[in-house]
Amino acid sequence: MTENKFEFHYDLYNDSSELTERDAWLLTEARSATKEAYAPYSNFYVGAVAMLANGEIVAGTNQENASYPVGICAERVLLGTVATIHPNVEIESIAISYSSQNIKSDHPISPCGMCRQALLEYETRLKKPIRLILGGLEGKVFVIKTVSLLLPFAFTSEELI
């Protein structure tokens, strides 16, 4: 038996003013997209905004439903939109932010497990690492170089060949 370790590195910023201009701008877009979320059940409004390799910007927000499991996260709304309106264009970075009526939006959140799987599929499909910029409406910001870091031991299409 050998004990193995998984670890990963990410960049931590004290606030968005320390980011590059481009990343700060994308995070501002994600913060602003939270206003378009439809989240009357959780009151947790998520905005995810992608910067594509062709310079286009696409936004997604969470869309809830009275039948709760029907609701969909901002990240997967975003991926479906990007794949439809800009097929085969790589995603360079996605900024994700949130606002909430219940908690202070002063720390980063990271994508749920289902969204990590969906993001990884997109990264693999387009063969381009997707950077994540994670931050609340204020406070610390995480920058993660590739989605694959968030999903160790991932199940991928390689198992299906």
What's the order of all strands across the beta sheet hosting 131-135?
A: 11-13, 141-144, 131-135, 91-100, 44-52, 57-61
Is residue 44 a contact residue for ligand THU (CB under 6 A)? yes
Residues sharing a CB contact under 8 Å with residue 115, sequence separation 6 or more, in sequence order: 73, 75, 76
* C-beta of 91 vs 115, nearer to ligand THU: 115
Determine which one of 75, 90, 92, 121 is catalytic. Answer: 75
Q: How far apart are CA 47 and CA 82, in angstroms?
A: 14
Is residue 50 a contact residue for ligand THU (CB under 6 A)? no
* C-beta of 74 vs 126, nearer to ligand THU: 74
Among positions 11, 25, 36, 42, the unique one binding ligand THU when judged by CB under 6 A: 42
Provide the CB-side half-sphere exposure for 26 (13 A, CA). Answer: 27
For ligand THU, the binding residues in 106-135 under the rule CB under 6 A are 111-112, 115
61: which DSSP letter? E
Question: Any catalytic annotation for residue 29?
Answer: no
Q: Write down the least CB distance from residue 110 to ligand THU, Å.
A: 7
Q: How far apart are CA 6 and CA 4, in angstroms?
A: 7
Is residue 147 a contact residue for ligand THU (CB under 6 A)? no
Give the residue numbers marked as catalytic. 75
Q: Which residues bind ligand THU (CB under 6 A)?
A: 39, 42, 44, 46, 62, 64, 71, 73-75, 111-112, 115
